[in-house]
Amino acid sequence: MTTAPPTTAPASVPVPAAQAIQRVGVVGCGVMGAGLAEVCARAGRDVLIVSSSEAGLTRGRGRLERSLGNAVRKGKISEAGREETLARVTYATDLGSFHDRQLVLEAVPEHEPTKLDIFQTLDKVVEDPDAILASNTSALPVIRLARATRRPEHVLGLHFFNPAPVLPLVEVVSSLLTGERTRRTAAEFVTEVLGKQAIHAGDRSGFVVNALLIPYLVAAIRMYEAGYADARTIDNAMTLGCSHPMGPLALADLIGLDTVAAIASALYEEFKEPTHAVPPMLSRMVDGGLLGRKSGEGFYSY
């Protein structure tokens, strides 16, 4: 009588590092924070949003619910998918709640002292020594944020674009201190988990996209300020004459005039190019709370 050869259990297949990231934290729930939370939750991840106030969380929850409602109406997800996505998102007001996160995405306004404080705190509260701490900064030097921690090799920039659930590009920004494993894992998470397209950018103000885009927007604002043409004429010139999907002033309103001004200031600080300087009109609009779509008034009324 013959006996069957002994069988051995198949070796377990190691899970790629990017796929192993299941618990994501998002700092801030403004337009970008809510968008990042949606993208990660729709990818099946457990998402925790932390904001500094209950009122902020309420506004962020509303943004997320409206965006998912739009996705249902456009046939992007089902009603069941919407409910499952919402169920994956939780909310808190204490950064200490991030203790078990494997990836934290910071998405607060472009104010360097605030971001530095956040990264110092994240360094203390996130327990996993291999966790990735990422900033959605549009222009600030990633290396300064990294130096605020004791784990600079695990810090990098992941710059998404607004609206994050729709636009496919993410800039992966490594500083001189970012580890290769961190860069590779973050890029794989962006492409393989979130289904986005990643480009690698150096840690220079503006990275790739904003280093090209912001001088163009600033030039359009200067043209408007100098009285060359009104806002609609300038925008029509670029949409009808250059096939741009949106004119520069309408795009500045969509981005947020405070964000445009902050990025322009960062570009000017780094490169000292006169074309990067913030136009006086833009400064006055920001001072007056005319921030574009998010305030209801900018170069256009909303």
Residue with tokens 């006169």: 274
On the 0-12 / 13-18 / 19+ scale of CB atoms within 10 A, 114 is middle
pLDDT digits (tens, 9 = 90+) for 215-230: 999 999 999 999 999 9
Strand, coil or helix: 36: helix
Q: What is the pLDDT of residue 157?
A: 98
Query: How do the domains of the chain map onto residue ranges?
Result: 17-202, 209-287
Give the pairing of strands 155-160 and 169-174.
antiparallel
Structure tokens at 270: 């780094």
- H-assigned helices in 226-276: 231-242, 248-255, 257-271
The dihedral sign for the CA sequence 219, 222, 227, 230: positive
Residues classed as catalytic = 138, 159, 171, 210
The CATH class of 209-287 is mainly alpha
pTM of the model: 0.88
Q: What is the pLDDT of residue 15?
A: 63
Which residues lie closer than 8 Å to 60 by C-beta, 6 or more apart?
29, 30, 33, 34, 37, 49, 51, 91
pLDDT digits (tens, 9 = 90+) for 50-100: 999 999 999 999 999 999 999 999 999 999 999 999 999 999 999 999 999
Average pLDDT, the chain: 94
pLDDT digits (tens, 9 = 90+) for 165-215: 999 999 999 999 999 999 999 999 999 999 999 999 999 999 999 999 999
Lowest-confidence segment of 3-7, 248-252, 282-286 by average pLDDT: 3-7
CA distance 258 to 290: 9
pLDDT digits (tens, 9 = 90+) for 131-145: 999 999 988 999 999
Domain 17-202 matching CATH 3.90.190.20: the answer reads: no
